[in-house]
């Protein structure tokens, strides 16, 4: 019977690819399901053989701990170098987009408050 090993929803493409390579390297037989056309199915990696479950989970846990340390280290290095994107840099990169969003939010708030003000006046 097939066993769910690793859910792929909201997993970065590079991480999913590294997990696939890890399983293939250690000769763990698996298959993959996608989210489907409508995006409602479960994208995941599944094991054909339940006997390999412990080994596969241990490999993935070790991989994720190492990845977490690596990503945190990369983030810290970017912060120290001043390369990490902040709200200010995002506004500087596309000010029209930012002010467009601000305008849209204010417009929706205006549309929500005008009918209420007529009720109480």
What is the per-residue pLDDT across 18-56, written as a single tens digit (0 to 9) for each?
999 999 999 999 999 999 999 999 999 999 989 999 999
First CA to last CA distance, the chain = 67
What is the per-residue pLDDT across 95-110, written as a single tens digit (0 to 9) for each?
999 999 999 999 999 9
Largest CA distance in the chain: 73
The residue extents of the domains of the chain are 1-84, 85-121
Architecture of domain 1-84: 2-Layer Sandwich (3.30)
CA distances from 100 to 80, 90, 109, 110 (A): 32, 14, 14, 15
Is-above-0.75 flag for pTM? Answer: no
Torsion angle defined by CA atoms of residues 74, 76, 81 and 85, in that order, rounded to the nearest 10 degrees: 80
């Amino acid at each position: 019977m097939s066993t769910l090993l690793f859910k792929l929803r909201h997993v970065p493409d590079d991480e999913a690819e590294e997990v696939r390579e890890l399983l293939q390297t250690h000769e763990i037989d698996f298959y993959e399901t996608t989210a489907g056309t409508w995006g409602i199915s479960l994208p995941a990696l599944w094991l054909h053989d339940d006997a390999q479950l412990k080994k596969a989970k241990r490999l993935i846990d070790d991989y994720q701990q190492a990845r977490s340390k690596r990503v945190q280290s990369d983030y810290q290095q970017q912060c120290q170098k001043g390369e990490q994107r902040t709200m200010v840099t995002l506004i500087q990169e596309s000010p029209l987009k930012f002010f467009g969003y601000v305008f849209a939010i204010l417009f929706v708030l205006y549309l929500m408050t005008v009918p209420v003000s007529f009720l109480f006046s």
